[in-house]
Chain A
Amino acid sequence: MLSTLGFRTTAVLALAFAFAACNKSSPTPSDTQASSSAATQASGGNITINGAGSSFVYPLLSRWSADYQKVSPTVQINYQSVGSGAGIRQVIAHTVQFGATDGPMTDDQLKEAGAPVLHIPLVMGAIVPTYNLPELPHAIRFTSDALTHIFLGDVKTWNDPKIASANPDLKLPSTPVVVVHRSDGSGSTYIWADYLAKVSPEWKTKVGVATSLNWPVGIGGKGNEGVAGTVRQTPGAIGYVELTYALQNKLPLGEIKNAAGSFIAPTIESVTAAAAGALATLPDDLRYSITNSPGDKAWPASGTTWAIVYQNMPAGPERKSLVSFLRWTLQDGQKACAPLSYAPLPAELVEKAAAKLDLLEPAKK
């Protein structure tokens, strides 16, 4: 008798839990709004802002989220590092209040979104070539022509004239070139392909620009660590990784000849310079591309991570908190960039980004 009753209780409890879990997992929009306003009415209640997207910006955003907690203890920023594409999908599905993406939303995605979406630049990033050729006294210099043809598969050995001509002082071996690319869909691939497409019409027609490509040649590694690991394991390999990852892991990096004609080493400063160099040509909606930027000291394969927010986000404590958080990232938050090997936005771009936030919630005078 005891055991049957016990069983019955357990079953009822299990069912109750199951229902509770079901209810919890799918809150309706009105539920979330009601709960959040209830939370703020109870004075000192916490406000939770949910974001999702780019994995590139994740280390910085978690740092920001922790730092911002000190500035504004009642606001909690949750960020899921699910990838830019998934972040955009979650914003469109209204499951998060903001997204973060390494590539601006496409016209199709904006159409799908149904209402205007603001793009607010958060931080700069760059993609850099890394290779495995030991015993070279200094970095290899790549022209855009050499890089394109390496990744198209036309340059088969390292002593090919396309590479050698820009490196007269290096004794390049006849080792076969092994191209390594990202196997997972990635903003890194997007920026790298975007750069190659700008400097080479052949790349544009043959391969194109996207987060995943139909690669003409090479092997795929998963994530920065997969590409870097494969390059390190394979003599003669060349791959592309995020600057942040490359600097933190002290990978050997190549220099690239930029649009102004000078060979540039990948540094945080040269990435910020890429945005500064392209300022005059930025479109109003800030859905820009700054690859192959005209600046003198600009790193050509540079990109941006944007926060994306619906412009018609309903007014309330959530919108207020989100905007103050984003405003903070553009000001104090930028100081956290360099220690984590991210490139801060140039001052002029911060102004433009802040102006976008004013559309959402006017700045306090």
Chain B
Amino acid sequence: MAAVHTGSIATTPTTARRHSLQRRGPPALRGWITLDPLFRKVCAAFGLSIVSLLGFVVYELLRGSSASLARFGASFVFDRIWDPVAEKFGAATFVYGTAVTSVIALLIAVPLGIGIAIFLVEMAPRAVREVAGFLVELLAAIPSIVYGLWGLFVLAPIVRDGLAPVLRTTLGFLPLFTGPSYGLGMLTAGLILAVMVLPFIAAVSRDVLSAVPQMQREGSLALGATKWETIWHVVLPYGRAGISGAVILALGRALGETMAVTMVIGNSPQIVASLFAPGYTMSSVIANEYSEASGQLYLSSLTELGLLLFVVTFAVNGVARLLIWRMSRGAEGSRA
């Protein structure tokens, strides 16, 4: 790089003179030389590329699913039948499976993740904090196929022989915990997802809680609040927006996770109350069937599932952002 630079100056003295002339010119021209506006434009282009990429994805999804949209219309979302032989396609079972597994995952991972964050920031000694924090982040680095195989060979038998019988005897009065368990099903998929999204919630929440000013805690303790009261009434509300962000990130991961879920959910398109029963998710069916799908309508229906997943993720994120926005406004209001 340096060679190019000196070379260009040495061989073209006129350019060098022009540069030095412009350097003494008005500020606007000087800006040109330092390439600031160009830099701004390049950055703007990078920023816009996200938007155009998103637009392109939507366009491609719409184009790809046009045959299915025309054939099934709105009934695609509500129809339960997915029959590639008869070319009848409905997405309801997949939407249900995606929603249920994500809800299970969040129900487990949110309290656990925030609990880990509170422990690491507020209670753990420094050595424990760093080692445990590192281990939590390490969970996020494990490939999902490894989670999937672990789920199939380790978690599934535990669910079948350990967890499911216990749940059946204690909570069996709920339709959620009835029927036989083969180990593979929505509960197992939810559990795997919980483990997978846990590091997102724990790590982000930990950073958020670390950023809460020490003054807030000291003030609360000085007023005679206990440690619990300080955490519950001062630290957590202060970090509410950030923690919600962590949960949304986790939800996004849970909605879209494919490989690990495919390995343990049982891949059976049905809507059954029992969480022990096998189910199916939108991303799993796309991953499973796209490569072998034959026929225009079949491919188009799979693409429409992708579109639907996109819409669901988009809607969930939108609603969550709205919630955060209202919450942070509410928090300001209560403080005032």
Contacts and interface: CB of A to CB of B under 8 A. Distances in A.
B42 A212 contact: no
Contact of B153 (A2, A185, A233): A233
Given A183-B284, A212-B84, A85 B268 contact: no
A85 B291 contact: yes
A222 B1 contact: no
Contacts, number: 119
Nearest to A236: B182
Given A214-B84, A226-B152, A221 B267 contact: yes
A8 B329 CA distance: 44
B41 to A, nearest CB: 11
Contacts of A86: 291-292
Given A184-B289, A210-B84, A106 B294 contact: yes
B178 to A, nearest CB: 16
Nearest to A84: B292
Interface in B256-300: 262-263, 266-269, 278, 280, 284, 287-295
A230 interface: yes
> Residue among A84, A183, A226 with the most chain B CB within 10 A?
A183
8 contacts: A85-B291, A184-B292, A185-B290, A209-B85, A210-B294, A220-B280, A221-B267, A234-B183
Nearest to A11: B42
Given A7-B35, A218-B268, A85 B183 contact: no
Contacts of B85: 207-210, 213-214
Interface string A184-202: 1111000000000000000
B2 interface: yes
Contacts of A11: 42
Contacts of A7: 35, 39
A108 B5 contact: no
Contacts of A226: 152, 263
A185 B291 contact: yes
B115 interface: no
A336 B153 CA distance: 33
Contacts of B287: 184
What 5 pairs across the A-B complex have the smallest Cβ distances? A185-B292, A220-B267, A183-B267, A208-B85, A83-B291
Contacts of B4: 5, 9
Contacts of A41: none
B200 interface: no
Interface string B158-186: 00100000000000000000001011110
B268 A215 contact: yes
Contacts of A212: 84, 288-289, 292-293
Interface string B293-313: 111000000000000000000
B82 A214 contact: yes
Contacts of A106: 294
Interface of A: 1-2, 4-9, 11, 82-86, 88, 106, 108-109, 176, 178, 183-187, 207-215, 218-222, 226, 229-230, 233-234, 237
Given A5-B4, A220-B288, 6 more contacts: A5-B1, A9-B1, A9-B4, A85-B293, A178-B182, A213-B85
Contacts of B82: 214
Contacts of B218: none
Contacts of A176: 180
Contact of A184 (B149, B152, B291): B291
Contacts of A8: 35
Interface of B: 1-2, 4-5, 8, 33-35, 39, 42, 81-86, 149, 152-153, 156-157, 160, 180, 182-185, 262-263, 266-269, 278, 280, 284, 287-295
B182 A219 contact: yes
Contact of A230 (B34, B39, B152): B152
Given A109-B294, A220-B268, A183 B156 contact: no
A210 B89 CA distance: 15
A182 to B, nearest CB: 9
Contacts of B292: 83-86, 184-187, 211-212
A230 B155 CA distance: 12
Contacts of B34: 4
B157 A233 contact: yes
B45 to A, nearest CB: 11
A186 B292 CA distance: 6
Contacts of A109: 294
A88 B294 CA distance: 9
Contacts of A221: 263, 267
A44 B49 CA distance: 45
A6 B83 contact: no
A276 to B, nearest CB: 29
A28 B42 CA distance: 31
A214 B152 contact: no
Contacts of A88: 294
A108 B295 contact: yes
Given A213-B85, A214-B85, A218-B268, A233 B291 contact: no
A237 B83 CA distance: 24
Given A85-B292, A222-B288, A1 B84 contact: no
Contacts of B160: 233-234
Contacts of A218: 268
Contacts of B180: 176
Contacts of B263: 221-222, 226
Given A214-B81, A219-B266, A220-B278, A233 B289 contact: no
A185 B1 contact: no
Contacts of B81: 214
B53 to A, nearest CB: 14
Contacts of A178: 182
Contacts of B267: 183, 219-222
A27 to B, nearest CB: 22
B286 to A, nearest CB: 11
B184 A230 contact: yes
B294 A85 contact: yes
Given A83-B291, A108-B295, A214 B262 contact: no
A209 B278 CA distance: 23
Nearest to B284: A183
Nearest to B180: A176
Nearest to B152: A229
Contacts of A186: 292
